[in-house]
Structure 1
Amino acid sequence: MKISINQKSIINRIITELTNGYSKPDLNQENDECSIREIPTMDATDFIADVYFQDDEQIVCIELKTVKPNKGVFKVEKEKVLEAKIALKNIYPDKVIRYFLAFPFDPLSDTPTGYDKQRFMDYCVGFRKYFSENEFLLASELWDFLSGDTDTMQQLIDIINRIATPQFAEKYEFLNNSTNKTTGKNDYIQYLTEWNLISEIELISNKTSISQKVKNNNRLTRKFNQSIFKDGEYNVERMIELKSLIV
C-alpha cells in the first residue's frame, strides 16, 4: 500500500485545515483533491478493514468502531481513511473507493434499532470536526447496508433473543450430538429452525444422498461425521463442503 509524497502533502493539508477549523468535512471535495494520479513512492499508514468487498465498479471498506470512542481519536482515523482511499485508488484507478467508519448501535437511541446521526456526531467529541454524515454508518443503517435488505438489525436481535434463553446450553449439547439427528429428529429440526440454522436443515434433508457421496472418501467422511459446532462456533467449513455435494 503506497502513496506519493505529494499525495501525503495533500492529506496533511486537509487534516490541518480541518483541525484548525479553516474547512469542514466534505467527502466529495476531499475525494476530488485526493484523486491526483502519481507514482507512489512511500508507504501508506497501515489499516485494517473489518469488511472489505469489491465489484467491477467499486471497493468498499468498513471499519467497525466502539460507540464510545476516545477523545482525539478522529483526527488519526481521518488521516488513516484518506491514506487508505488514496492507496487503494493507486492500485485500482478505475474504481470508486468508499471507506466507512461504522458503529453497530446508537447508544442514545430510545429503541434498539433507532439512530440519529446528527445527535451521535455531537455525542462523540471531535467527530464532527473531521467526518461528515456520509462517511459513517450507524445502527440499523449499517446492518441494512451489509445485507442489502431492510429491518436487518431487528432480524438479528430476534435471532439472538431466540437463542439466548435459559435452555441455551441444553439445546447446544443436543444439537452437537449427531445421534440426535436420527433419534430425536423432530426436536433437532425444531431447534435448528429456532436458531436459524437453515443450511443444517438442508443437510439433514439430503443426508442419504450426501452419505453415499462421501463413501470411500476418508476426508469427506470425517467432515460428514464432525459435530455442527467447533470450539463454540458453528462449523461453517463443514457445512459449505457438505452442501457442495448436494445436486
Structure 2
Amino acid sequence: MQIKQNIKNRLKNALRQKFSNYTPETSYMPFHTRLLGRDRMALYSFIQSLNTNFGTSIFEPVAEELGLAKFDNITRQAFAGETITREAQRVIQDIMDNLESGRVKPNKCNEIERILRVAHSGEISTIKPTKIDLLLQKDKSVYLIDIKTAKPNKGGFKEFKRTLLTWVASYAYANPNAEIHTLIAIPYNPYEPKPYERWTMAGMLDLDFELKVAKEFWDFIGGNGSYEMLLGAFEEVGIEMRAEIDEYFARFNTK
C-alpha cells in the first residue's frame, strides 16, 4: 500500500534527521555510565530528546501524509489569525468562568455558536494565539487540532480549552464562512487496554466533540483501519532500521 510506504519513508527521514542533529546530554553520570555503558546512556538521552518533540517531528508529518487522500488541504503549525473582537474575548471569558466554577458543563456546539455571534462585533484586538498543530480543510469544514502528550498535565486543561475557544474566534474573524471545529488529540492511550482516563478532562472539554484519542484520532485523519496500519508501519521501520540504529549508538562506546 503506497500510503503506508510513504509514511515509512517519512519516519525513516525523521529518525535520520534526528540522528544527524542529535548531541547527547553532557551531564556527567559516572556511575550510570559505568554500569550501563555509554551506548545505553546515549540511547536513554536520545529517547528523552525525541519525546520532547515527538509531536512535531513524528506525529505531525505522519498525520499530514495520512490525511492527504481524505482532506482538501493540510497545514502544519498554522496560524489561526491575529485579530479577535473584544466581544468575543468577553464571551470566551464568560465561558471559562462558568466552566471553572462548575456552573455549566462543556457544550462545544453552544460555545461556538455564542462566539460566532460576536466574532465580528465591536472593537478588535491584536493577539498571538498558540499555533495550530494541524489544520485540516474539507469543503467548508475546517478542523483546528492541538496534539498533546499522552498524559497531559491536569492543570493545563484550562489553557487547552481557552486556546480552542480563541482559535474559533480568531479564525472566524478572518474566515467568516468556515465551519469551524477544534480538537484536542492524544496520539495513543498509555492505559491500554483500559479506556483512556477521560474523566480528568471532563470539567473543561466536551468529550464527544473536543477530544480524540488513539484509534479514534488516527481513523478520523485517515479513515477506518489507519491506526492499525500505523502501528504496523512503525514496527516495520524499527525492524528495517535496527542495524542502522544499533550502529549509530555503538559509536558512543568508542573512546
- CA deviations 1:102-126 (Å, max 9, x no partner) are 001111221xxxx74xx5212x3xx
Alignment of 1:24-173 (within 5 A): 24-36=105-117, 37-39=120-122, 41-110=124-193, 116=195, 119-122=196-199, 124=200, 127-133=201-207, 134-147=209-222, 149-165=223-239, 168-169=242-243
Q: Tell me how far 1:10 sits from its aligned partner.
A: 0.6
Q: What is the TM-score normalised by the length of structure 2?
A: 0.59
Deviation beyond 4 Å, 4+ runs, structure 1: 170-173
SS at match of 1:34: helix
Corresponding pairs, count: 163
Task: Provide the rounded CA distance (Å) in 1 between the counterparts of 2:100 and 2:219.
Answer: 32
Gaps of 5+ in 1: 174-247
Change (3 A) 1:62 1:167: closer
Change (3 A) 1:60 1:167: closer
Residue identity matched to 1:17: N
Larger Rg over CA atoms: 1
Q: What is the TM-score normalised by the length of structure 1?
A: 0.61
Q: Which has the higher contact order (CA 8 A, sep 6+)?
A: 2
Task: Provide the rounded CA distance (Å) in 1 between the counterparts of 2:92 and 2:144.
Answer: 19
Residue identity matched to 1:132: D
Does 2:120 match 1:15? no
Q: Tell me how far 1:40 sits from its aligned partner.
A: 5.5
Task: Provide the rounded CA distance (Å) in 2 between the counterparts of 1:57 and 1:3.
Answer: 21
Instruction: Supply the RMSD in Å over aligned alpha carbons.
Output: 2.3
- Asked if the contact 1:45/1:80 (under 8 Å) is kept, the reply is no
Gaps of 5+ in 2: 1-81, 248-255
